[in-house]
Amino acid sequence: MRFITCSVSTYAVPLILAMGCLFASNQLTAEEKPQAAANEKNSKAESTDLKALNSSGTVLIDLKQKRLVLKAEVVLQEGLLEMLCCLKQTKEHESILAVDAKAYVIHAGLLALGAKPGKAVSFDPKFQPPTGQTIQIFLQWQDKKKKWHRVPAQDWIQSATSRFYSTEMDVLPSGVIIPEDNRLFFDKKLKQLTWFGHMPAKEKERYLDMSIDKNYQKAIKKFYKQSQPKPMKASWVFPGSQFHVDEKTKEKYYLAEGGDLICVANFPSATIDIGVESSASGETSLVYEAKTAAIPEIGTKVSIELVPVFGPKKKSK
């Protein structure tokens, strides 16, 4: 893993707030703001209270509305995912979005909003999900017709279908002939019927027509049901990544600088991770993939809104 030097003192909230004052002039331009006639759901993204936390203006804080805004762009529309958003020039091959910023600035910005970091995912001796402040994530962009859109980030992600689905079957029913180059195949040695990928309704009907054998019919219907993409329902949390200590200098380094910013596959180095089990190992398939039809074209500028979820305040006696 590639490590970037980041002193622990960098995370001091007063320093980040000072950065916000220093770059206060780096607010959204008139072209970047949604039009006055935009949907009321976009009202949060129209705020002029955004203050930049870095010189490039890609990380902005809104203390009034308690949110952090990242200026990112689409780098992937199709494929298995490890990230919703990575750092620029790190993991674009498995991330829908990329942002040109340092992970520690985003971490510190969340602290400035009052978000509480938790613990990173643990796999030893058994799986322990990541914990931390729940973070709602919204994506806002402008299409070619200059129309603004704002959706929950989950709308761009679905369950992975690029995988194998198998069921036990002693013999293939008579009359069922499967072409060699087909995604349905039967293994005589393992006694398994297997399907790969998403099964369209037309394919299901075609295979069902091949035989009335009950076990065979049950297997095809099972493959069809299992292979249908499902929307992502998991929420993100703020574990806050982990630190690596240099053996020679004894300095601490922030692991998320390797790219693991907003993950959909569990990583101990993630700044923001999903709060459920989502494997990134080679032993099992990745859990999520990009929902291609919902994602604008590569290169589209997208504002990522990070909104910590705070519980109701207790009334003082």
* 314 vs 142: which has the higher pLDDT: 142
Is 40 in the same domain as 126? yes
Average pLDDT of the segment spanning 24-39 = 36
Is 78 in the same domain as 196? no
Is 84 in the same domain as 211? no
Q: Determine the Cα–Cα distance for residues 11 and 117; give it in Å rounded to an integer.
A: 12
User: Tokens in use for 192?
Assistant: 């398994």
Q: How many domains does the chain have?
A: 2
Give residue 41's pLDDT band: very low, low, confident or very high (50, 70, 90). very low
- List pLDDT tens digits, range 122-156: 888 888 999 999 999 999 999 999 999 999 999 99
Is 143 in the same domain as 209? no
pLDDT of residue 279: 66
Q: Is residue 139 part of a domain?
A: yes
Q: Is residue 3 part of a domain?
A: no
Q: What residue type is assigned to position 135 of the chain?
A: I
**Mean pLDDT taken over the chain:** 84
pLDDT at 20 over 70: no
Is 203 in the same domain as 239? no
Distances (CA, A) of 171 to 72, 92, 165, 221, 287: 52, 44, 17, 18, 31
Average pLDDT of the segment spanning 268-289 = 76
pLDDT at 17 over 80: no
Is 63 in the same domain as 196? no
Domain that holds residue 51: 8-157+232-308
Is 44 in the same domain as 127? yes
Is 115 in the same domain as 18? yes
Q: Is residue 317 part of a domain?
A: no
The one-character DSSP state at 80 is B
Length reported for the chain: 317
Determine what percent of the chain is predicted with pLDDT higher than 70: 80
**3-state class (DSSP) for residue 292:** helix
CA 166 to chain centre: 28
Q: Is residue 68 part of a domain?
A: yes
pLDDT at 194 over 60: yes
pLDDT at 39 over 50: no
Q: Is residue 184 part of a domain?
A: yes
pLDDT of residue 123: 87
- List pLDDT tens digits, range 155-175: 999 998 888 999 999 999 988
Is 53 in the same domain as 195? no
Q: Is residue 192 part of a domain?
A: yes
Q: Determine the Cα–Cα distance for residues 11 and 178; give it in Å rounded to an integer.
A: 60
Is 243 in the same domain as 216? no
* 300 vs 33: which has the higher pLDDT: 300
pLDDT of residue 163: 86
Single out the residue in 183, 203, 226 at which a domain terminates.
226
Is 66 in the same domain as 149? yes
Is 48 in the same domain as 98? yes
